[in-house]
Amino acid sequence: MSNVTNLTAAIKELKQVLPENAWSENSFDIQPHLQEWRDRWQGSTPLLLTPRSTTQVSQAIRICAKHQIPITTQGGNTGLVGGQIPQGEILVSCKYLNQIREQNKHSITAESGCILQNIQELADKDDRRFPLSLASQGSATIGGLCSTNAGGIHVVRYGSMRDLVVGVETVLADGSIFTSLNSPKKDNTGYNLTPLFLGAEGTLGIITAVKLKLFPKPKYCETLLISIDNLEDALKVLESSKEDFSEELSLIELIPNTALDFVTKHISDCASPFSADSNWYLLLQFESLNDFNSNERLEDYIKNLIEQKTISDAVIAQSLQQTQDLIKLRESISEAQKPEGGSIKHDISVPLQHIPEFINKASAEVKELIPGCRPIPFGHLGDGNIHFNVSQPVDMEKEKYLSHWEAMNCLVHDIVMQYEGSISAEHGIGILKKTELAQRCDPVKYAAMKSIKKALDPTNLMNPRVLF
């Protein structure tokens, strides 16, 4: 039987078995799912599936497996490495798997299509907190965030999605359903399969629901923006904040002056709180369940840093609005780069002690490769995850600049490997980095991952272009 015949038979059976609201061939319905927000990938699919239940997902996968038809899975379509954009596969959108199955003081069990911001708000109403926070939280879905092991700005205290998930429900490549949603906290019966699907990017199955940890809602929160002259001082601030505030440190984000200029230039209602520019800035946030005399402690902390000439200035938010304004400066960086033309982006991590060396070396070498380009290294200082974005020279055409994408990626990632870092810290591999993964990954790890893929998806039907 030919592939075309298989596809025709699969589509016919899917339309017969699934209710009419769970599939569409209408181009108007399908088109928004075929393009990611940076306009880098344009996709195609013969059929869009929008299941409303885990049972419908299982039915769909069984039919596709029967006819050997590959599947691409999509959450909120906020991914940055192309893995969610189909290239001819049947597309399964999880956006209507959006029910809350259970909520208590300790956890919330949510289906994979639930929006992150909605989860945060539900927790907040119960005086609890789900701490994952990132710029796309108004549209990013829980399933997609789990599939890429998303991090966000609070990893330094709470960890990434692997640390925030205690159970999953996943439909495997044969349509069977694995669940650990109700597993006991202590379960020593062999392999722990739950983390296997977190960061797997849909290659091992479709996550349909997860059990998320909830935390006590902080009673006190202090946010401040610090200006510094060099990256070595940024590490000193990180070390001192951990020593002085321990686990109360929940956020520490690095912002270069160029990024702050972009944000204040292009994003409405954004302004620098400082009268003079600095080379770098650090956004910090401290949280506590108890009153820890935060104002007095922070003032002493800042005073000591200034006296030691580690920082040059600092601003402490005095209201919720000022807190939101400071965080907006950080969260708007990616958006503010768009009006400046093409941007070649890298989501990397290096050991903390190597951050200054990496940024200085990589910045110098990309400028040598493309004179006039503008490095914008920013992000999660607390866990070594730097978004090393490089904006085009002012006088260069965007298309010409972006034609250097592979050369710049190779250059930057070579430097990352020199410092024993990772070429993907939180965005995943997708299709963007799979060739580099094959070249740079530890061969033992790479072979083990391929073996796991082969065992759970022997005919490569699940997100077949991703990772490998």
Q: Are residues 307 and 345 in the same domain?
A: no
Q: Are residues 81 and 128 in the same domain?
A: no
- Write out pLDDT tens, residues 273-291: 999 999 999 999 999 887 6
> For residue 267, what pLDDT band results from cuts at 50, 70 and 90?
very high
Q: Are residues 152 and 224 in the same domain?
A: no
- Write out pLDDT tens, residues 361-415: 999 999 999 999 999 999 999 999 999 999 999 999 999 999 999 999 999 999 9
Residue type, 16: Q
Domain assignment present for residue 356? The answer is yes
Domain assignment present for residue 74? The answer is yes
Sign of CA dihedral 103, 107, 113, 118: positive
Domain end position, chosen among 300, 335, 370:
335
Q: Give the C-alpha separation, 104 to 430, whole Å.
A: 34
Answer yes or no: is pLDDT of 39 > 90.
no
- Write out pLDDT tens, residues 165-193: 999 999 999 999 999 999 888 888 999 99
Q: Give the C-alpha separation, 8 to 14, whole Å.
A: 10
Give the pairing type, strands 71-74 and 90-93.
Answer: parallel
Tally of CB atoms within 10 A around 157? 18
Mean pLDDT of the chain: 94
328, containing H or E segment: helix 320-331
Q: Give the C-alpha separation, 93 to 387, whole Å.
A: 28
Q: Quote the domain boundaries for residue 91.
A: 3-96
Residue 414: CATH number of its domain: 3.30.70.2740
